[in-house]
Chain A
Amino acid sequence: MDRVPVLKIGDILLVSIQIDMEDHVALQLQEDLADQIVATGCHGVIIDISALDIVDSFVGRTLATIASISRVLDAETVVVGMRPAVAITLVELGLSLPGIRTALSVELGMALLARNRDDHVPSGTETDDQADIPAVPAQ
């Protein structure tokens, strides 16, 4: 069965979709990424769609779902490399992918993730504070 590989580069998971995905392959990717985010503790996901000549509503919805799942798992997703004709078609289709961060290339996507990570964690104190919050007692 076709499967889209997920590569780990430092703190980032990189996915480059190089095939015309059947719907179940897209759903498999969604699961694989969620598993890999938890297994590796990576804080960023880059999905390269520069090889895709179309993004229909199913793939668009899958990308949005991946971004939401990542966020819940403390990772940020950036979709990179969208072709101009694909962007035009997506918007006309009615899908503007709200909630998905985009960049023009993998390189710019990595820069975006690095910048956001720096903004969100200015020092090591934030995580220490969390430990002081008393746990909610179980009912």
Chain B
Amino acid sequence: MSDRSGAARDESQQIEVTSDQDVVRVRQLVRTVAVAVKLSLVDQTKLVTAASELARNTLVYGGGGTVEVGRVQNGRRSGIQIVFTDQGPGIADIDLALTDGYTTGGGLGLGLSGARRLVDEFDIETAVGRGTSITVTKWCR
């Protein structure tokens, strides 16, 4: 299996996100895979933090969904790819949603914009009334 960037994907693990507890499970799984892929400590921390933000968004804004964590390979580089999918209301204005400080949920408005800064690749697909799918990738340096 390969995605648009041409990276080959290994088998992945999936977590259903329906509660706070599942957000913690996502953090732990991402941490485990990040260690296995040998990301540096700072990159592990950045990726786990980004995953925590996005998994919480899946829960709070998307009404729950799934998180898929897998290893990816692109030539000699290895990395981690995480896909967050929900069937929630979708995002009407992506640019606005990605603006620092913008929130519809009473938070700080840093989840989406901050998570994007913490990863190497960030891809978002959304349709109003259909849901949102966000794919992030972090590569080993």
B49→A54 contact, CB < 8 A: yes
Counting contact residues on chain B (CB < 8 A from A), the size range is 20 to 34
The answer to the question of B52 belonging to the interface, with a C-beta cut-off of 8 Å to chain A, is yes
Q: Is A53 an interface residue (CB 8 A)?
A: yes
Q: Tally of A-B residue pairs with Cβ under 8 A?
A: 71
The residue from B20, B48, B100 contacting A53, defined by CB atoms under 8 A apart:
B48
How many residues of chain A get a CB closer than 8 Å to chain B's CBs?
Answer: 23
- CB pair A22 B48 closer than 8 Å: no
A57 touches B23 (CB 8 A): no
By secondary structure, the A interface counts as: helix
Given A58-B56, A85-B42, A85-B45, A22:B21 Cβ within 8 A: yes
CA distance A61 to B52 in the complex (A): 14
Residue B74 CB within 8 A of the other chain:
no
A23 near B23 with CB under 8 A, answer yes
Verify A57–B110 contact, CB threshold 8 A. Answer: yes
Q: Which residue of A lies closest to B53 (CB)?
A: A56
Closest to A83 in B: B45
Asked if A95 is an interface residue, CB under 8 A from chain B, the answer is yes
- In the complex, which of the residues B21, B24, B110 contacts A93, with contact meaning CB atoms closer than 8 Å? B110
Contacts of B100 in A (CB 8 A): 94
Question: Given A85-B42, A89-B42 in contact, is the A22-B108 Cβ separation under 8 Å?
Answer: no
Residues of A contacting B110 in the complex (Cβ-Cβ under 8 angstroms): 57, 93-95
Nearest Cβ on chain A to B81's Cβ, whole angstroms: 19
5 A–B pairs (Cβ distance < 8 Å), ordered by A: A54-B27, A54-B48, A57-B108, A84-B42, A88-B46
Q: Tell me the A residues contacting B by CB distance below 8 Å.
A: 20-24, 53-58, 60-61, 83-86, 88-89, 92-95
- A-B complex: 7 closest residue pairs judged by Cβ atoms: A93-B114, A22-B20, A85-B45, A56-B52, A94-B110, A57-B110, A85-B42
